[in-house]
Chains A and B, each alone.
Chain A
Amino acid sequence: MSRILSQTKSAAVNPLKSSQPLGAALAFLGVEGAMPLFHGSQGCTSFALVLLVRHFKEAIPLQTTAMDEVTTILGGADNLEEAILNIKARTKPKLIGVCTTALVETRGEDTAGDVADIRLKRAQDLPGTEIVLANTPDFEGAIEEGWAKAVTAMIERLTRPGEQVRQSKKIAILPGWNLTVADIEHLRDMIENFGLEPVILPDVSGSLDGTVPERWVATTYGGTSVEGIRELGTAQYCIAIGEHMRRSAEVLRKVTGVPYVLFQSLTGLKSTDRFASLLSAISGEPVPAGVRRRRAQLQDALLDGHFHFGGKKIAIAAEPDQLYQLATFFIGMGCEIAAAVTTTDMSKILEKVPAQSVQIGDLGDLETLGANADLLVTHSHGRQAAERLGIPLMRVGFPVFDRLGSQHKPTILYQGTRDLVFEVANIFQANRQAPTHDELYPLGKRETPDGPRPPPLTRP
């Protein structure tokens, strides 16, 4: 069990977090015909928008209630109403996902009450448009919490309550935010291979997969349908991926009685085996040949790749579930976790992270704790630390703005794990230093018998 170390600094140095409303917006972006709306000043939206665009290289639908000094003092209900009506008139969305920000939450706005009033008062103006609210102040949590709150809010608001007739082949999937577009596509393929029909919420593979639609769409152009969310109660089972999705799965069970299974990670041979066995049990089908072949490919990748991993020291900074996912992957390959840094202390998964301690902190902490690591693993903002330390950087999570295609990289199931093995092994191979006389000089090592890496002595 790892020790969780809380933050003691007053100034965060090079933040690791992206904000909670951004995470909520990301979840709403996985719904078809959606428009996320930040209830705050327009900078809140502008910053999140720019960051999402830099990561996805896509036009991102995201709007603001544009709170200013006056509305902050008088209250934001009118702005919220005007924003919703304007969005409805201009883009005709099927869902408006309201995410609150630090500004309105500090002010103490009753946004839930305001949204309820607007739904009631403006019912005739808003046919065919659902309004879902996630309370996501920036001064709490990060992407993970925001994403989970939005998914939970959608289930609470939209899913038809009560026990319903279950469709034996239908599976509800609640993926965590750290799954890429490629992961979602893989997940769907694998489930369909067993003859099952997945409904995935949110489904960013339909909306943020970087295609070129035939016409201009102001909202999201794909994703989970609102109808699909309504009908989640007809699923046979629910599978949630990531500890942060537990609450959403529990709410679904409470509302509809659909039982759930939670996978804390789907990366690695063992957890994928468990997943495949579960699908086999639910469907009553044997594991298909294609899946078996992927498993064999992963076995081979582990055999070929492990030479590059053994004894390597890895420093990871990521949101809790992703930290767990990656740390267990690296441990499973024979690495050590030299540093584990995360965003918030609210997740139960943290104590299961296979590291001596988990620091709640920022990239400044990663730079300090990971100074002697062989590999830094975090998002693109880690590039400055990697450069200063002269340690290679593996880019994961959000935002990745200085490399293309991060959404199309699989990271889960047999295939994603196989690709991760290759990616990391290739980074190590690309950064391998040729042996030098000074480094190997045996007599120099005598002076520091315990030091893992003696400083090279200069020859007189």
Chain B
Amino acid sequence: MSSLSAKIQDVFNEPACDKNRGKDAKARKQGCAKPLTPGAAAGGCAFDGAKIVLQPITDVAHLVHGPLACEGNSWDNRGSASSGPTLWRTSFTTDLAALDIVMGQGERKLFKAIRQIKQAHAPPAIFVYSTCVTALIGDDIEAVCKRAGEKFGLAVVPVNAPGLAGSKNLGNKLAGEALLEHVIGTVEPDDAGPHDINILGEFNLSGEFWLVKPLLDRLGIRVRACIPGDARYIDVASAHRARAAMVVCSTALINLARKMEERWDIPFFEGSFYGITDTSEALRNIAELLVRKGADRQILDRTETLIAQEEAIAWKKLEAFRPRLQGKRVLLNTGGVKSWSVVHALTEIGIEIVGTSVKKSTLEDKERIKQILKDDNHMFEQMPARDLYAMLSEQKADIMLSGGRTQFIALKAKTPWLDINQERQHPYAGYDGMVELVRQIDLAIHNPIWHQVREPAPWDCQADVKDELQGTESEAATLHAAEEFAGPTAGDFGEC
């Protein structure tokens, strides 16, 4: 555990992290782990975070060393897409039983599990994840992995991020450390070129990176490794020969990017493929970094030409939504708005942002929010479920964009909702992705069910009609009233 503690201190002291830079020395030393409140905590653990970051590597077998729940309750729940191998979707766990724990058979079982997977699937690598229980009973997964790797002749990578080490975000970072320590740089590619880049922290959710990759292809830029979305083990192992890198989800893998710069001189920038201007900016930054590293300057012109074309098309497509979405009010309730340019594109076509969570935002982010929202009352750290429900019930927003955690607060408040987190069904990256996001907002807001579910039942609001009906004596009158109720649509009745 001591090396784990050292590693945790190390990832908390990340000089390239905006948030960390904003703190004084004392605050920095405390790390970014927020103390959890028992009975009022939400969110995953370090193991969860580590698995999220590594699991989309498609041809690797991911083996979870622990009792059932860690893997059994969590597998097959992420929407990353693969263009080939499917092994990453097969779940492997040592499923430790009481006897394994009591008798101290964990390490043996792990070793045998590695052999079993090697024999059945012969993957290029097996990633082994520690969990609370195996950390607690002191299983030395690093030693087992080393021994198994030598014996079976494949890469066996220990991922030491037990749940009790801390939050999901810490786990993201520990996953990056595992790649750095055991994977990246272990294979020398024979095809390294001047236009090779890495994309870090891109998960290819719903295949959305495939909305971006063709743009890079068009520019002659090769993605050496996209980590982890749709990656192969060998891509990651030879990622150290890229000329430049882009960090997409900076909170997760900034430490990896910085250390790769230190070790292999791969310059990086933080960018986003969400939103039109951010996508353009990202393409520009990639081209500039490559030129700085010796690529032909022509790529800059090619990039500008492509950006001009693609932006023109995207804005034209978005403009078509203005009549339907002008003045609509959006509540953004996500861990931190990941891309200002999404907000920018929404406001550009007349959508209002009526509130946003700033839980994970930096000071700089907050300044930008103030400028965009013109009213910092709309910023909140984290809204309790009850308040969020009240706000939505009073129809203070026309739609909420958030992650699955708050989905049912919106739906029970009869408010349109769109998933913009990891479980989402639609690709939102790149120029076409932004258009898709706006299209989905339009579809959600204008779905005809909202009128139906918000109308109270007729017997709850048409007291007078009901009385009349009960009061009628003659058959003809009853028939007449019945016909009225059977009228063509519910909309024919007056407002309640």
Please report A residues at the B interface, Cβ cutoff 8 Å. Answer: 9-15, 17-19, 21-22, 37, 40-48, 50-51, 53-54, 57-59, 63-69, 72, 79-80, 82-87, 90, 101-103, 106-107, 137-140, 142, 212-213, 216, 218, 362, 381, 384, 401
A41 contacts across to B, CB distance below 8 A: 45, 132, 163-164
Residue among A15, A64, A384 making CB contact with B68, cutoff 8 Å: A15
B83 part of interface (Cβ distance < 8 Å): no
B38 contacts across to A, CB distance below 8 A: 64-66, 79-80, 82-83, 86
The CA-CA distance from A19 to B1 in the complex, in Å, is: 27
Residue among A65, A216, A384 making CB contact with B412, cutoff 8 Å: A216
The answer on a CB contact under 8 Å between B96 and A139 is yes
B71 contacts across to A, CB distance below 8 A: 15
The answer on a CB contact under 8 Å between A46 and B48 is yes
Per-residue CB contact flags for chain B residues 384-395 toward chain A (1 = under 8 Å, else 0) read 011001100000
The answer on a CB contact under 8 Å between A48 and B69 is yes
Residue among B92, B101, B386, B390 making CB contact with A106, cutoff 8 Å: B101
The answer on a CB contact under 8 Å between B69 and A84 is no
Smallest CB–CB gap between A370 and chain B, Å? Answer: 16
Smallest CB–CB gap between B400 and chain A, Å? Answer: 14
The CA-CA distance from A229 to B46 in the complex, in Å, is: 39
The CA-CA distance from A44 to B136 in the complex, in Å, is: 15
Smallest CB–CB gap between A67 and chain B, Å? Answer: 6
User: With A47-B48, A101-B69 given, is the CB distance from A384 to B163 under 8 Å?
Assistant: no
The answer on a CB contact under 8 Å between A218 and B91 is no
B22 part of interface (Cβ distance < 8 Å): no
Beyond A11-B114, A17-B72, A82-B38: 12 further Cβ-contacts under 8 Å? A15-B95, A21-B69, A40-B132, A41-B164, A42-B36, A45-B41, A50-B74, A51-B73, A66-B38, A84-B39, A106-B136, A362-B95
User: With A44-B163, A50-B404 given, is the CB distance from A15 to B117 under 8 Å?
Assistant: no
Secondary structure of the B contact surface, majority rule? helix
User: With A68-B164, A102-B67, A384-B76 given, is the CB distance from A85 to B39 under 8 Å?
Assistant: yes
The answer on a CB contact under 8 Å between A12 and B404 is no
Mind listing 22 A-B residue pairs with CB under 8 Å? Answer: A11-B63, A12-B95, A14-B75, A15-B72, A19-B67, A41-B163, A42-B43, A43-B44, A46-B43, A47-B70, A48-B69, A48-B73, A54-B77, A66-B39, A68-B166, A83-B39, A86-B39, A106-B101, A106-B133, A139-B98, A216-B389, A384-B76
The CA-CA distance from A68 to B136 in the complex, in Å, is: 11
Residue among A13, A18, A137, A401 making CB contact with B98, cutoff 8 Å: A137
B237 contacts across to A, CB distance below 8 A: none
Give the residue name and chain of the B residue nearest to A41 (CB).
Answer: B163
Please report B residues at the A interface, Cβ cutoff 8 Å. Answer: 1, 36-48, 63, 66-77, 86, 89-98, 100-101, 109-110, 112-117, 120, 132-133, 136-137, 163-166, 168, 385-386, 389-390, 404, 407-409, 412-414, 453
Give the residue name and chain of the B residue nearest to A79 (CB).
Answer: B38
Smallest CB–CB gap between A138 and chain B, Å? Answer: 4
The answer on a CB contact under 8 Å between A47 and B74 is yes
The answer on a CB contact under 8 Å between B136 and A107 is yes
Smallest CB–CB gap between B299 and chain A, Å? Answer: 42
B91 contacts across to A, CB distance below 8 A: 12-15
Smallest CB–CB gap between A19 and chain B, Å? Answer: 4
Name, among B41, B89, B112, B453, the residue most crowded by chain A CB atoms within 10 Å (CB to CB): B41
Give the residue name and chain of the A residue nearest to B95 (CB).
Answer: A12
The answer on a CB contact under 8 Å between A140 and B39 is no
The answer on a CB contact under 8 Å between B404 and A66 is no
Name, among B86, B98, B100, B164, the residue most crowded by chain A CB atoms within 10 Å (CB to CB): B164
User: With A21-B69, A66-B36 given, is the CB distance from A72 to B164 under 8 Å?
Assistant: yes
A10 contacts across to B, CB distance below 8 A: 94, 109-110, 112-113, 115-116
B41 contacts across to A, CB distance below 8 A: 42, 45, 63-64, 66
Residue among B46, B92, B97, B453 making CB contact with A140, cutoff 8 Å: B97
A57 contacts across to B, CB distance below 8 A: 408
The CA-CA distance from A40 to B281 in the complex, in Å, is: 44
B43 contacts across to A, CB distance below 8 A: 42, 46
Residue among A21, A50, A58, A66 making CB contact with B77, cutoff 8 Å: A50
A68 contacts across to B, CB distance below 8 A: 36, 164-166
The answer on a CB contact under 8 Å between A140 and B98 is yes
The CA-CA distance from A108 to B386 in the complex, in Å, is: 37
Residue among A11, A59, A72, A142 making CB contact with B117, cutoff 8 Å: A11
The CA-CA distance from A216 to B383 in the complex, in Å, is: 14
B39 contacts across to A, CB distance below 8 A: 37, 63-66, 82-87, 90
